[in-house]
Amino acid sequence: MSAQPSLTLQRRLNATPAKVFRAWTEPAQFMTWMHPGGADVVRAQLDVRIDGRYTVLYRKPDGSEVEVGGQYLEVVSERKLVFTWKWRHRPEPESQVTLLLEPTGDGTWLTLTHERFADDAQCEDHRRGWTDGLDSLERYVG
Residue range 7-141 forms a domain whose CATH class is alpha beta
Please report, for the chain, the start and end positions of each structural domain, with discontinuous segments joined by +.
7-141
Nearest-5° angle of CA 108, CA 111, CA 114? 150
Instruction: Determine the number of helices (DSSP H) and then strands (DSSP E) in the chain.
Output: 3, 7
Q: Which of 78-82, 90-94, 137-141 has the lowest mean pLDDT?
A: 90-94
* Distance, CA of 15 to CA of 132 (rounded, Å): 18
| pLDDT tens for each residue of 26-76 | 999 999 999 998 999 999 999 999 999 999 999 999 999 999 999 999 999
Span between the terminal Cα atoms of the chain, in Å: 43
